[in-house]
Structure 1
Amino acid sequence: MTNKRVVVTGYGVTSPIGNTPQEFWTNLYEGKIGIKPITKFDVSEIDVQNAGEIQDFPFDKYFVKKDTNRMDLYSLYAIYAAMEALENAGLDMEQVDRDRTGVIVSSGIGGLQELEEQIIRMSERGMKRIKPMFIPKALSNMGAGNIALKIGAQGVCKSVTTACASANDAIGEAFREIKYGHQDVILAGGSEASITRIGIGGFNALTALSTTEDPARSAIPFDKDRNGFVMGEGAGVLVIESLEHAQKRGATILAEIVGYGSNCDAYHMTTPTPDGSGAAKAIKLALDEAKIQPADVDYVNAHGTSTPANEKGESQAIVAVLGTEVPVSSTKSFTGHLLGAAGAVEAIATIETMRHRFIPKTAGTRELSDDIQANVIYGQGLEAEVNYAISNTFGFGGHNAVLAFKRWEG
């Protein structure tokens, strides 16, 4: 059987720098970060001050108040991004084969706000006072499940949980489902709402978060002064189709997905292999599937979390496979780290980079650390032809997931 070509025909996003693809890209292009002091709760007892919170989430567009009783915030974000993606793609669910239309939307943690609230409720008021919808709201698969319920998709429906690699793995799994002919259309991506007391407090206990007070200098990937990541929140969902299906319905094609690499460091619970060898293997796997050479890659959207151990290894991986000339930037410098949603939001950023022929800068970064040899773009963005690009995500547990995209010239 001939493998099918796989394309992206639409996407939706809610993020600290925008709730539409247009707003999201404009802020990337103009260099406007979405990292600000935390407003969701009091952080006076810890040193962490900043996060990438969503501003002006358009809740009323798809939801009513009672939806908050049935779904955690991460599910609401996921549904919003999915509905926006359908609209952006011009996809009418009445015109598709529902059995061959799926949802693969991941979350690294799931309903963390609901977990926090109900455990406190149980501790203070007893086990019998736990709310009935606690489990369905908290489960990490319910972002995907709730999207399928909302749109009536009856094909494959699952959530891939690989920490910060989750969304890239979701998109990669969707790519393979369509490539091998199992599905026609899949909504794929990730969602996360972890700016909670337990979320911030937990990562603070790991000493993983930036303690820099200045929001503009708290997420500074590859910078010599980086000291931890900044938590972000939001969701990204892509409409992924076979080329044949997209062309038959006259869809606008935004990009082609051509490769996916996934593996494991098997090294440490939280620390990547120091030499970046695991990440390098994942990059090679993506290029091999794409049938392209390292010299073909015009841009790398880096995992770039603003943590020294991660970035030293990623830089080594990029240099080992692609050399020192390919432009690299981290859009987490604008949004913070969206954990299980990061790969989806960054996939959108990568595709927009190809479409607009402009590589966003790594915001806030002023001077590269001595251990960074990759060609990190900072200070200002870069006008460039980007025909092939990769997007890296790496997660706790040693999970590595890399996507390769091709510019569409239809």
Structure 2
Amino acid sequence: MRAASRGEPVAVTGLGLITPAGVGVEAGWRTLCDGVSTASEDPVLQGTPVPFSCRVPDIDAAEAVGRKLTWRTDSFIHFAVAAAREAVADAGLDPRDACRWEADRVGVVMGVGATSQENHPREYAKLLRGQHTTLSPTIVPRSVPNMAAGEIAADLDARGANLCTSTACASGATAIGVARQLIASGACDTVIAGGSESARNSVFTALPFWRMGVLSGRAHDPAGASRPFDADRDGFVLGEGAGVMVLERLGAARARRARIHAVLAGFGATADAFHPVAPHPEGDGARRALLAALADAGLEAGDIGHVNAHATATRRNDLVEGRVLREVFPHFPPVTATKSVIGHALGAAGAIEAVCSVLALARGCVPPTANLDRQDPEIDLDIVQKTPCERRLEAVASCSFGFGGQNAALVFRTP
């Protein structure tokens, strides 16, 4: 193992994005800046109490990642591989170029919140009919969480550390933080990191969330259902997608004259140690994660010019998060809630929002929050509404909180 460069900053040199807002970074960013929800009726969920979701539009998986991979894997893997390819190309890297791509030193860390159950109903039906010998042998490798990282590695010839983080809705953010630590430790020179999930693709996922009372019941108005921080919010809308970034040492990125989107300056991870699904009532873990990320970045709260909030649009979570953000960032930086447009992609959400945070930083533009018609008077934040907020940004924060009381916060700054 090479000697670690612990003090050297970690650069973000590549971005990939597959979301209901669009396929690819540019398409997704345009839709996010329009500030209009992508939620609509979902044929997979028809006949259920929540027959709508936010779906990735018009993606031909066979064309995007190949017919063989499409056949033997589930959607969350298709999204992961497609976003990883985009991120690597955006970084100006090519796995076929041995001079710039030392495969043994390229790692992959992907966050996935849960086992994909996309094809499970079909297989369960075989069991109920007693057709045990007809079960698909691909049902495990096509659906277990670690295969997002494994398939990216095989597709891009990344032979270094290969990990999957599963911290519920913080999984993608956790993956990016762990990737930074791999580089800082000297274990890897380059890491492909992010998250991927397709929660809306199975009633086995959707209905338990509905039974828990955390999904919006606005079947009559899908486009108006996801309402983070709004006084009339009633739960989140299921989404899907992937967000991926390429991380490498800042010095190495500059040496090869790469375009540097941002520096991943800080990471904080904590546990509430309070409740399986409810947040700590005072937001203790969320607060400590944000403060840890700031300390890791060597920044003060006042240095943060924008916050991408977790903002699920559930009653309790938004209220707790709003109070934490008001306390940690008393200078009222503009806040946005990406889930208002693309829904909640669960394990992928933190990675998608991290990519969006980097884009906001690099482009000096904060996308608006959709459906914020009447801000909850108990949430005292400067939430961007209606139109994008353009301003010069030096540092931004992205926060993610998940079931099990697992919290992750990321801080990005300009190079």
The equivalent residue for 1:35 is: 39
Please tell me whether residue 255 in structure 1 is matched to residue 262 in structure 2: yes
The equivalent residue for 2:65 is: 63
SS, match of residue 120 in structure 1: helix
Q: How does 1:258-337 map to 2 (within 5 A)?
A: 258-323=265-330, 325-337=332-344
Given that residues 110 and 141 in structure 1 are in contact (C-alpha distance below 8 angstroms), is that contact kept between their aligned partners in structure 2? no
Given that residues 62 and 70 in structure 2 are in contact (C-alpha distance below 8 angstroms), is that contact kept between their aligned partners in structure 1? no
The equivalent residue for 2:346 is: 339
1:364 alignment partner, one of 371, 387, 406: 371
2:215 alignment partner, one of 189, 209, 212: 209
Q: How does 1:3-402 map to 2 (within 5 A)?
A: 3-42=7-46, 44-46=47-49, 48-93=50-95, 94=97, 95-195=100-200, 196-212=202-218, 213-323=220-330, 325-402=332-409
- Structure 1 portions without partners, runs of 5+: none
Cα deviation 1:172-211 (Å, max 9, x = unaligned): 0001111232211000001101111111112111111001
SS, match of residue 313 in structure 2: coil
Query: What's the CA shift for 1:156?
Result: 0.6
Amino acid at match of 2:192: L
Counterpart Cα distance in 2 of 1:257 and 1:171: 9
Counterpart Cα distance in 2 of 1:289 and 1:403: 10
Change (3 A) 1:205 1:315: same
Amino acid at match of 2:127: M
Calculate the aligned-residue CA RMSD, in Å: 1.4
Deviates more, 1:164-173 or 1:57-66: 57-66
Counterpart Cα distance in 2 of 1:331 and 1:381: 12
Given that residues 3 and 181 in structure 1 are in contact (C-alpha distance below 8 angstroms), is that contact kept between their aligned partners in structure 2? no
**Percent of matched pairs sharing the same residue:** 34
Counterpart Cα distance in 2 of 1:80 and 1:2: 31
Change (3 A) 1:45 1:170: closer
Amino acid at match of 1:78: A
Query: What's the CA shift for 1:2?
Result: 4.4
Change (3 A) 1:115 1:60: closer
Query: Taking structure 1 as the reference length, what is the TM-score of the superposition?
Result: 0.96
SS, match of residue 221 in structure 1: coil
Amino acid at match of 1:69: W
The equivalent residue for 2:413 is: 406
SS, match of residue 138 in structure 1: coil
Query: What's the CA shift for 1:27?
Result: 1.1
The count of aligned residue pairs is 406
Amino acid at match of 1:404: V
SS, match of residue 267 in structure 2: strand
Given that residues 107 and 192 in structure 2 are in contact (C-alpha distance below 8 angstroms), is that contact kept between their aligned partners in structure 1? yes
Given that residues 111 and 139 in structure 1 are in contact (C-alpha distance below 8 angstroms), is that contact kept between their aligned partners in structure 2? yes
Amino acid at match of 1:210: S
SS, match of residue 113 in structure 1: coil
Given that residues 366 and 379 in structure 1 are in contact (C-alpha distance below 8 angstroms), is that contact kept between their aligned partners in structure 2? no
- Structure 2 portions without partners, runs of 5+: none
Counterpart Cα distance in 2 of 1:65 and 1:154: 23
Counterpart Cα distance in 2 of 1:120 and 1:394: 35
Query: What's the CA shift for 1:126?
Result: 3.4
Given that residues 188 and 238 in structure 1 are in contact (C-alpha distance below 8 angstroms), is that contact kept between their aligned partners in structure 2? yes
SS, match of residue 369 in structure 2: coil
SS, match of residue 238 in structure 1: strand
Deviates more, 1:54-63 or 1:365-374: 54-63
Change (3 A) 1:382 1:136: same
Query: What's the CA shift for 1:111?
Result: 2.1
Counterpart Cα distance in 2 of 1:149 and 1:66: 13
Query: Taking structure 2 as the reference length, what is the TM-score of the superposition?
Result: 0.95
Amino acid at match of 2:102: D
Query: What's the CA shift for 1:230?
Result: 0.4
Query: What's the CA shift for 1:221?
Result: 0.2
Amino acid at match of 1:275: E
Counterpart Cα distance in 2 of 1:326 and 1:64: 43
